[in-house]
Every structure is written in C-alpha cells, then in structure tokens.
Amino acid sequence: KQEVTQIPAALSVPEGENLVLNCSFTDSAIYNLQWFRQDPGKGLTSLLLIQSSQREQTSGRLNASLDKSSGRSTLYIAASQPGDSATYLCAAPNAGGTSYGKLTFGQGTILTVHP
C-alpha cells in the first residue's frame, strides 16, 4: 500500500525566498509522480508531472525532482511571490501500476508567502 508524506506541514516565508517542499513515498516502483496546487476551497491544479524515467521537470519558477531509489521528490520554488501562497500536494500512484491507477496524496504543505 502506497503511503505519501509531506514535510513541512506549513511554511511561511518572505517574498523573494527560494524554498523546497519535500515529499516521500513508501513504494518506489511508481510510474510517475505529480505535484498539485490547491487554493482554499478550490480544486486541484496540476503543476508538474515527473515520469519515472526523469530526474527533474521544470515549469517557470518551479522545479520538481524525483529520486525513486530513496522514495523522495522535492518541489523547488524560486523567487517566491505572495501569489504562490496555497497548499501544495504531492501524489503518487500505486506501485507497479500504470499512469492510470489511483493516486495516493500527501497531506500537503501549506505555503504562505508574505510581502
């Protein structure tokens, strides 16, 4: 059974800081891993998808890495802005499954970026 843990649970930083969010998963035979953003009371917006064959994926100021052997992924946010304030969720599929299997989510990191 896949289990996903995210640390820290909450993070408050001043604008402009670079920051790292951490995700760990118990079963490393995953097909891919996905990072989402959730604003309060809203849906899940996909940020980055990393395939098992990739080590990194970048989109703008966001960079996600994947280390299957250690069961870890990190989301790096460069030059944070107040608009980045949200909950960031990491989700991993069933180990050994396809990209169509169910996702197991972490509890999220609540990020606050203050001006």
Partner 1 sequence: EPEVTQTPSHQVTQMGQEVILRCVPISNHLYFYWYRQILGQKVEFLVSFYNNEISEKSEIFDDQFSVERPDGSNFTLKIRSTKLEDSAMYFCASVRTGYGYGYTFGSGTRLTVV
Q: Select the residue interacting with partner 1 from 7, 29, 42, 61 (CB under 8 A).
A: 42
- Separation of alpha carbons 100 and 45, rounded Å: 18
> Segment near partner 1 (CB under 8 A), from 10-18, 21-29, 33-41, 63-71?
33-41
The full DSSP string for 66-83 is EETTTTEEEEEE-S--GG
Report if residue 60 touches partner 1, rule: CB under 8 A: no
CB contact set of 25 (below 8 Å; sequence gap of 6+): 2, 3, 4, 5, 33, 71, 72, 73, 90, 92, 104
Q: Select the residue interacting with partner 1 from 24, 66, 106, 109 (CB under 8 A).
A: 106
Binders of partner 1 in range 80-99 (CB under 8 A): 89, 91, 99
Q: Select the residue interacting with partner 1 from 46, 58, 59, 112 (CB under 8 A).
A: 46
- Separation of alpha carbons 81 and 23, rounded Å: 22
Report if residue 104 touches partner 1, rule: CB under 8 A: yes
Residue 28 or 94 with smaller CB distance to partner 1: 94
